[in-house]
Chain A
Amino acid sequence: MTDEMKRVVIVGSGDGGTFTANLLASKLRKEIKGGLVSVQLVGEHLLHPFQPGNLDIAFKGAVPDKYVRAETDLIRKGVEFIKDPAVKIDFSARSVATKSGRTLPYDYLVIATGAVADPSKIQGLAEGALNFHTGGADSRRVWEALQSFEGGTIVVAIAGTPHKCPPSPNEAAFMLDEFFQKRGTRGKVKIRFLTPYPRPYPAEKVSHVVEPMFQKKGIDVVTFFNVDSVDPAKHKIYSLEGEAFDYDLLIAVPPHHGADVIVNSGIGDQDGYVPTDKGTMRVVGQEGAYCIGDATTIPVSKSGVVAHLQSVVVAHNIIAEMNRAKGLLEYNGRINCPMEVGNHKGIFVSATYTSPPVDQSPSTVKYYMKRSFAMIYWRALGGGLERVFDVFFGQTRFPATEKEEPEKTAVAPVASQGGKREA
């Protein structure tokens, strides 16, 4: 390592972390080869899952292995993958400590540690409910439970917000309906959807699509249901507000929180998410540190698409801070969450910080676009589809014109976290 070498450490090897590492390796190929830049990707797992595949595992019987690749097959040349979970991030020392005892100094840090779905946060939830947010194996348990479900009440509940993939609970209800329709036992199954929100989907325009479809399909909706606890013995779920419902099968989105390394480093909010500037993606008040994806406090959707779009901004801004690109970029809050609504139809929940979702109709094209993403995800991680995405997503970033001198702004207080929206 030379004195001039700039060290980039990326903590977390999920979608955002892997893609950021690959983008940097692609754009800084010569610098890495010449020993001027290093890119270290610190991750816990050798296997990299395509998380949206969990819905297919849970409700369509897909095999979990179908949605997993080896991390080492996904990273570009020039990225050093360190399979050794980070246990401490020290902003003042500008270093990351790993479980094995290594200390990784950095000039630029990218926090991509995601969010953790944690059923233990609600009394009785881990024992009383199945879920499709804690991995392929748990999703497979949902599928296995459906095989022997002859009739009764299935409750789909959102047991905490925010959670990964905002449309996924609605999709679960739609896919349950489709599963039992195909099996010919829909008449024996009551599907009840419990949500803390005022409507079946939090964004009103999207709810305009979902609500009549739920009614048509006989999916019962209970709003303002903040899950308090579950009694597995009585097969009952209770709300803070005092309501209670019986269930024969409970499928619940667990509460989420930030990663242990964030909590243990004392750099998160009360839920373990990292305060982050909604434009530049800088960690608030920290020089050279960025945060992307589910790990941030920015209340946009916790989804892979968001992490992907933010990665492009962060990779550019780091290169700009190295004075190897001009001007900083800002993320415009673009989200794009596909939602499967059954019978080979889908919608996209799309918005930016300033443009909420608009009215739309379910379409077969959107359904197949969603399905195709499972196939192109792996290639997208390598950065090979950026031109296609730029056409599809349109402008998702813009020059931070007031911050064109990165050396001056790197230590300046970042902008507020305002303009919040969650879809």
Chain B
Amino acid sequence: MSTTEQRKVIDSRGSFCPGPITDLFKAYRSAQLGDVIELLATDPAAKADVTAWTQKSGNELVGIVDEQGYARITVRVTKKR
């Protein structure tokens, strides 16, 4: 794992499917192994979509926290070609 891990916050609040997952993928495309991406989303589908993606891809779902009016979904990039 890199010692220069980056943490990036993606604000997709107000965006509906596929906005949040698309925003996450855009960040994933430019991320390095070990980087952490925090996705802020109001779309209720985002939790299930991101969870399904991490399960399939092998990336790590660090956690989902329900904040006031939105979810904070944190992913660590552990699998990337």
Contact = CB atoms under 8 A, between A and B. Distances in A.
A186 B53 CA distance: 32
Interface in B1-50: 12-19, 21-22, 25, 28-29, 45, 48-49
A342 interface: no
A240 B22 contact: no
A58 B42 CA distance: 39
Nearest to B54: A224
A356 B16 contact: yes
Nearest to A244: B81
A184 interface: no
B18 A422 contact: yes
A197 B57 contact: no
Contacts of A241: 56-59, 79-81
A420 B16 contact: yes
Nearest to A354: B16
Interface string A408-423: 0000000010111110
Contacts of A356: 16
B8 to A, nearest CB: 13
A238 B81 contact: yes
A239 B58 CA distance: 13
B17 A224 contact: no
Interface string B54-81: 0011110000000000000000000111
Nearest to B22: A161
Nearest to A278: B14
Nearest to A417: B14
Interface in A221-240: 223-224, 226, 228, 238-240
Contacts of B48: 198
B79 A421 contact: no
B40 to A, nearest CB: 12
Interface residues of B, number: 25
Contacts of B52: 198, 224
A299 interface: yes
Nearest to B15: A420
Contacts of A419: 14
B3 to A, nearest CB: 22
B45 A239 contact: no
A203 B56 CA distance: 20
Contact of A240 (B16, B19, B49, B81): B81
Given A162-B22, A198-B21, A204-B45, A242 B58 contact: yes
Nearest to A239: B81
A238 B80 CA distance: 11
B17 A203 contact: yes
18 contacts: A161-B25, A196-B21, A197-B18, A197-B21, A198-B21, A202-B17, A204-B17, A204-B45, A224-B56, A226-B25, A240-B80, A241-B58, A241-B81, A242-B58, A420-B15, A420-B16, A421-B16, A422-B16
Given A228-B81, A422-B18, 20 more contacts: A161-B18, A161-B22, A162-B22, A196-B22, A197-B18, A198-B21, A203-B18, A226-B25, A240-B29, A240-B80, A240-B81, A299-B15, A299-B22, A356-B16, A418-B15, A419-B14, A420-B14, A420-B16, A420-B19, A421-B15
The 8 A-B pairs of least Cβ separation, nearest first, read A418-B14, A420-B15, A202-B18, A241-B57, A421-B16, A198-B49, A224-B53, A420-B19
